[in-house]
Structure 1
Amino acid sequence: MERRSFVRGAGIAGVLAAGTAPAIVQAQAQVRWRLASSFPKSLDTIYGGADEFARKVSELTGGKFQISVHSAGELMPAFGVVDGVQNGTVEACHTVPYYFFGKDETFALGAAIPFGMNSRQMTAWMMEGNGMKLMREFYAQYNIVNFMGGNTGAQMAGWYRKEIKSAADVKGLKFRIGGFAGKVLERMGGVPQNIPGGEIYQSLEKGTIDAAEWIGPYDDQKLGFNKVAPFYAYPAWWEGGPQIDFFINTKAYNALSAEYKAVIEMASTYAHVDMQAKYDGRNPAALKQLVAQGTKLFRFPKDAMELAFKESMALYSELSAKNPNWKKVYADFSKFRADQNLWFRFAEAGFDDFMQQQKL
């Protein structure tokens, strides 16, 4: 569905609010779906997005449409969920699209790429720009219908055993970094490791890796990374606004009534907004606690940021020359990003810059 269909579909919400829902709900069939998550249950923010989605779907249908949510590894591995949806093993999954860049780099554009867009810009591209249309066309090749399923906001740049002081320190660094960003790290001389969230702590503790990034203070504190790596960097130049998605099997989605399709869109949009609200609300206190416990913050070095930017732009040009899917989507993505940054540099950035210098 395009954004305009959501407005039309929202009519069901008015029916529910008006108290006339029972007749419509009774007319609908009972539906039972399974949803596979790429995240562990312990991460109530990112895993919880699927719980919120399932809860809203049930509420909006009077319990007729039930979705059971299963954590990573319960039904399939964290990185096996796209295959699970594609072949119909499960009806839906909740994941970060860039995990699957190995299938096609274009998956990353549905989530985050190095020096991409922030969360508000990403949502604007999806809802007001051509993002949803273009990604739907791409995901159709994989038997998937996508819906927005959350955003963490700009992330931290990870935990390190030793502080990164220059671009030279990136060379040889064994770094757990999510999906597509590893391509840029590799071009910088680093050694990317794609490890599920539930396995990062042990890898860092054992020294299998030198550094790891996940999301931000609230989740990172839960995973205990500060206990095994004292240095905490910012910002994550590879994740300015990573979007999480619900992927739904095309056959399962097409079998739904028009009313249930509208419910899916409304519930996913609610979960999308709710996730970032949780991160924005919970990260400040978690960061204060981490610093109080001895965590040492540092800003990612300017020369390393500049090298990462240079290598990112070179990579995107190379991909546009050889991957038609990427070329089509990235052309629109990059134009939208440029317009957004032109606008944000004035009102948004100007306001933020002033406020962050004040002692409130």
Structure 2
Amino acid sequence: MDRRTFITKAGFAGAGAAAAATTLAAPAIAQSNPKITWRIASSFPKSLETIYGGAPDLAKMMSEATEGNFTLQPFAAGEIVPGLQAMDAASSGTVEAAHTVGYYYVGKDPTWALGSAVPFALNARGMNAWMYHGGGMALYNEFLGKSGLIGFPGGNTGTQMGGWFRKEIKTPADLQGLKMRIAGIAGQVLSKLGVVPQQLAGGDIYPSLERGTIDAAEWVGPHDDEKLGFQKVAPFYYYPGFWEGGPTVHFMFNKAAYDGLPEHYKSLLRTACQATDANMLQKYDYLNPIAIRKLVANGAQLRPFSPEIMQACFDATNELFASIETTNADFKKIWESIKAFRKENYLYTQVADYPFDSFMVSLQRANKL
């Protein structure tokens, strides 16, 4: 047999063997990817497409990775349960998953907030470093386990804005008697400085500011705020939202449902959650610069909180947390871990990132970029 004939015949034989292998492998693949359908209750409306979008993003990735066999069906706030009950629905097994933020549930226990954001904690990079590599995820899941849940980060907005104010706020004294739409631990901190916290749904904020029922309101950041037109009724836009330096959104899964998954499904789910986590922050980092220009063009007046206000709020935060730690062992355990990492994180930040960013900001202000 000549060499050319041998190669040709060998090629046909190889192709036939490959086809046979594919035919034999297909049932095995199908068996290893069982059909599973889960529901995700979101805490967010579809109108906030970036933060809500984390749930559809996760669903798309899981479907693609399993040839459509692992289906996650996202439901916006109110479609199955109200947004602030998403975690409860996952905990009880009404749904298998929630896409939510831990600080929504501080009324049950302030420890819930530590996995998302509390005043003067960490920025987004710091939260991710602590969560993924500093033991934060294990500590938070130890706490979530008491509610029959297991959670993985599923998004971050980056540092949020300090909110919209009807008048300028220059000193801590200006906060006295101020009625502000803000809740949770941040509301408790500001109440120590005389703020009167108000809890309002998103759709009630604009008319309340317009009528003067409230004097100020925090929402999210430029991209989400720009849609609501707050600058028309409360033009002073303050920063930073020191209570949300790096607010982590979570996918919280019913632990029994999660434990029942095949191991490779668990691995895929963890990986897809981490991808969703990164993608949301990247979206906000891209969209917020566009939105802040629009807001300023339409009347928003940017103002930083004064150093005096920041220091007063930091002191009030420490007082509040010291009080909570005396009676709440879960809070104390996790907060001590965050504080230890926070000290090291900002030690390094001032060495490299902060000088670089400061210099680049100076160039931007000088119109040299």
TM-score for the superposition, normalised by structure 1? 0.91
Partner deviation per Cα, 1:49-104 (whole Å, 9 max, x = no partner): 11111111111111111111111111111111121111111111111101111111
Pair 1:343 & 2:348 matched: yes
- List structure 1 runs of 4+ shifted beyond 4 angstroms: 19-23
What is the alpha-carbon distance in structure 2 between the residues aligned to residue 145 and residue 343 of structure 1?
31
Change (3 A) 1:23 1:357: farther
- Structure 1 residue aligned with 2:293: 288
Is 2:200 aligned against 1:195?
A: yes
1:175 partner letter:
M
For the structure 1 residues 162 and 22, does the alpha-carbon distance in structure 2 shift closer, same or farther, using more than 3 Å as the test?
farther
Contact between 1:154 and 1:239, CA under 8 Å: does it hold in 2? yes
- Tell me, what secondary structure is at the counterpart of 1:314? helix
CA contact (8 A) 2:235 2:301 kept: yes
Aligned partners of 1:194, 1:339: CA distance in 2, in Å? 35
**How far apart, in 1, do the equivalents of 2:30 and 2:351 lie?**
48
Q: CA 1:199/1:271 → structure 2, altered by over 3 Å: closer, same or farther?
A: farther
- Aligned-pair identity in percent equals 49
Q: Aligned pair count?
A: 342
Q: Within 2, Cα distance between the matches of 1:208 and 1:57?
A: 45
Q: CA deviation at 1:28?
A: 2.1
Q: CA-to-partner distance for each residue in 1:290-341, whole Å, 9 max, x for gaps?
A: 1111111111122111110000011111111111111111111110111101
Does residue 1:89 correspond to 2:97, yes or no? no
1:29 Cα offset (Å):
1.6
Q: Which structure's relative contact order is higher, taking Cα pairs within 8 Å and 6+ residues apart?
A: 1
| AA in 1 matched with 2:163 | G
SS in 2 for 1:294: coil
The Cα shift of 1:195 comes to 3.0
**Cα distance, 1:251 vs structure 2:** 1.2
Deviation at 1:223, TM superposition (A): 2.3
Q: Distance in 1 between matches of 2:137 and 2:27?
A: 32
**Counterparts in 2 of 1:1-360, with a 5 A limit?**
23-358=28-363, 359-360=368-369
- 1:289 is displaced (CA, Å) by 0.8
Q: Aligned AA for 2:224? A: D
User: Which residue in the other structure is 1:16 paired with?
Assistant: none
Give how far 1:25 is off: 4.6
Structure 2 Cα separation of the partners of residues 49 and 143 of structure 1: 22
Matched letter for residue 314 of structure 1 = E
Q: Which runs of 5+ in 1 are unaligned?
A: 1-18
Unmatched runs of 5 consecutive residues or more in structure 2: 1-21
Q: Distance in 1 between matches of 2:182 and 2:30?
A: 45
Question: Bigger CA drift: 332-341 or 219-228?
Answer: 219-228
Higher alpha-carbon Rg:
2
Structural RMSD (CA): 1.6
- Matched residues in 2 for 1:120 and 1:157: separation? 19
- TM-score of the two chains, using structure 2 as the length reference: 0.89
User: Is residue 232–residue 299 contact of structure 2 (8 Å, CA) maintained in 1?
Assistant: no
